[in-house]
Amino acid sequence: MLGLIRHRAIVGVNSLIPLQDGWGVVMEYIDGADLSSCIKAGTVPIGAALEVIEEVAGALDAAYTAQMPGRDQGLKLVHRDIKPSNIRVTRQGEVKLLDFGVARAEFDAKESKDSSEFVMGSTRYMAPERRRGWETHQGDVYALGLVLANALTRKRFPEPPEAERDHARFLGTVLETVNRSLSSDSEEAVRAAAGQVKFLLLEMLAFEPMDRPDAHTVERRIRKIRKALPAPWLREWSDRAVRRVQAGAGVPDDIRGDTGKVLVERAGAFDTDEVTAPLPSYATDGDDDSSSIRRPLAPAHAEADPTSGHRTTPGVPRLTVVVLMAGSFLLGAIVGVVSLILLGG
């Protein structure tokens, strides 16, 4: 599918090679560092962060709107795993979107059955509807919004809740964190842009997919916001940031595993400590790229748990469900208290 897309921010395909059990893809080599490592290594200026997101938004638009040869319909390719570690930056200021390994095009019948049984992606950047198996272009836009918030604040956020009421609290926390970061900047132009960035994120992180802008709109609006911002820009920042990462800075000594989830497959690990409390204590320095997963969707008919009165997923240990439910109730209580404090302040 990548061979059908031409965009400067999408990693290029050089050739296909036969392997013992199939075919392998030879991709272009990108000498640089992923955005996740750059965030850990130091502050990302707002101008540089917006340029990165603008480039990725352009790549997502190109992937979704690319035309299929010999057909009237578009490719409508959805990446499904947008996160900082899948965005690579070079010292020359180039941005490349990587890892289309779980991407899906609407014409691809091979994926249709698979996607009906599994949720694919990284839970830290997963839109609420994707947890229910609903794949949309706006799901990529949602994940890109969280990447922008992460880059602007160097804070890690909890997993987006699936329930709309809980998501409203989550969104408020993200927006407040971004607003505090930009409003305290020494540059007046950055402080002035805080409202525009916050409003853009409000739309990108909307609970309903239909309320989010498409990637082309995001690209255009970011370009407009950037015009009033001061240097440093991507080219100057990336040269320093990539050098720092390649020299060994910003790479954590300890890699902590992902916990609190029932997964079928997982790869990699969390980059920083797991934190579940809301703003302000939860937002710790650094970035978190949770592992890419293939999580089975909940079956249509759940089993009732006679000991608790709640419905549980078959195959999940009852104790696990109780622990997860208790944690959810505790987290909701903490979020409510902190929200009242913030509103009172």
Return the amino acid letter for 46: I
CA 115 – CA 134 distance, rounded (Å): 9
120 vs 6, 14, 103, 168, 259, CA distance in Å? 25, 26, 9, 24, 17
CA 170 – CA 70 distance, rounded (Å): 45
* Angle (deg, nearest 10), helices 137-153 and 188-204: 150
CA 318 – CA 323 distance, rounded (Å): 9
Distance of CA 268 to the CA centre of its chain: 16
* CA neighbours closer than 13 Å in the CB half-sphere of residue 45: 19
Residue 285 DSSP symbol = B
- Residue 211 a catalytic site member: no
Q: What is the DSSP string of 147-172?
A: HHHHHHH-B--PPPPSSHHHHHHHHH
Tell me which of 61, 81, 99, 287 is the catalytic residue. 81
Q: Active-site residues: which are they? A: 81
